[in-house]
Amino acid sequence: MGRRAFLRWLAGVAAAAGAAWLGLWKWENRQGGRVAQDAGIALHPPTDVSANDGALLSFFILSDLHVNAGFRTPGDRLRKALADIETFGSKAEAIVVTGDATESATEKDYAELRSILDDFKRLPPIYANMGNHEYYSIWINENGGWSKETAPNGKSDAMSREAFLSFFGLKKPYHDVWLKGHHIVLLSQETYVQEKPEVSEGAWYSDEQMDWFRRAMAEPAGGKPVFVMIHQPLPPAGRDGGAHQLIRAIEFRDILKPYPNVFVFWGHNHLAFDSGTHYVRETFHGFNNSSVGKARSRQPQSSAPQAANADIAQGLFVEVYADKVRVRGREFADRTWVAGADWTIPLEAGNGE
């Protein structure tokens, strides 16, 4: 698309907003640092998570970190989350980040994220997928300011993908991992408005990714649950999505239909666990995560989510048992479990037994 056509399209767009990372990454923490000092919190292991309670696997899911080199607050919230997670020790066997790990995916944002991660030496392996904000470098001009008028500011979606994949050593923006015999599948947004203006802030998956997803789901799961990570939420059943949603939603749901015990996790809308609906039951179990960096809570008697709350930094903790999966909301700001965000799902027979 030519520059003039691109600018004409921009003139008809109200705003480009969202949350981001179109790719997937696994960052094995190798360096230590100032965990308790930086977080300002003493390390106290949780007393209500037992290492010998029969869980076969347990891991955290974090979404919408929004680490920003020019604004400390999201990074400080991430530090609190990681400091809390370290207290779980062997009870937290992985961290999965479901998109928007940085605010604008600039070189400085990536450097800030790396700096934060490098300060923690006792973290489990980290796996991640990408959302829309990983493409946001096209909105950032050479002076580091937001400039929609001059977009794409000498950049492209291809450059955003390559920068992300190169930084995290990946070949594809989607992948999967097996943890203690459990399959975790991470899907990723593959393009943005510079290449496909019509996708807006929606999650567009290519034919190649959807074929790969179909094959990944067909792999025998040995009777165990399968965990699927996306970033943008699904639209209502029966239709495809648009802006701020998973676009090829009908096909996505069709791929999942044959399989029991599938758990799908997304973020993107930043709603704290006291706001909105966070669990839905279809042919799969769907969970709408909160946000570490920009969680928003609805005030009483108001349907409108408020601005990001400085006292909120939330995520999900997943415990897998032989006969059930438990999913709990965690408040990292004060290291407590969120009342009302606690689901125990009995497992059905199936999934390649």
- Work out the burial of residue 118: count CB atoms within 10 Å of its CB; fewer than 13 is exposed, 13-18 middle, 19 or more buried: middle
Check residue 322 and give its pLDDT. Answer: 95
Model's pTM, two decimal places?
A: 0.84
Domain 3-346 has CATH 1.10.600.10: no
Token pair, residue 67, equals: 């680490």
Within 8 A by CB and 6+ apart from 243, the residues are: 200, 201, 202
CB 28 within 8 A of CB 127: no
Check residue 53 and give its pLDDT. Answer: 78
**Euclidean distance between CA atoms 218 and 68, whole angstroms:** 38
DSSP 215-284: HHHHS--TT--EEEE-SSPP-STTS---TTSBTTHHHHHHHHTT-SSEEEEE-SS-B-TTSS--EEESSS
In the predicted model, residues of the chain with pLDDT beneath 70 are 1-52, 298-310, 350-353
Check residue 102 and give its pLDDT. Answer: 93
Can you give the length of the chain in residues?
A: 353
Check residue 11 and give its pLDDT. Answer: 45
**Euclidean distance between CA atoms 321 and 140, whole angstroms:** 45
Check residue 24 and give its pLDDT. Answer: 34
Within 8 A by CB and 6+ apart from 337, the residues are: 48, 328, 329, 330, 331
- Work out the burial of residue 225: count CB atoms within 10 Å of its CB; fewer than 13 is exposed, 13-18 middle, 19 or more buried: buried
CB 176 within 8 A of CB 215: no
Domain ranges of the chain: 3-346
Omega within 30 of 0 (cis) for the link into 45: no
Report, in this order, helix, strand and coil percent for the chain, each rounded to 5.
Answer: 25, 25, 55
pLDDT digits (tens, 9 = 90+) for 244-289: 999 999 999 999 999 999 999 999 999 999 998 999 999 999 999 9
Check residue 27 and give its pLDDT. Answer: 37
Looking only at the bridges linking them, the beta strands covering 285-288 and 314-320 are unpaired
**Euclidean distance between CA atoms 56 and 53, whole angstroms:** 9
Query: Which strands form 57-62's sheet, in the order they lie side by side?
Result: 25-27, 126-129, 95-98, 57-62, 314-320, 324-331, 336-346
Check residue 106 and give its pLDDT. Answer: 92
Q: What is the 3-state secondary structure (H, E, C) of 130-182?
A: CCCHHHHHHHECCCCCECCCCCCCCCCHHHHHHHHHHHHCCCCCCEEEEECCE
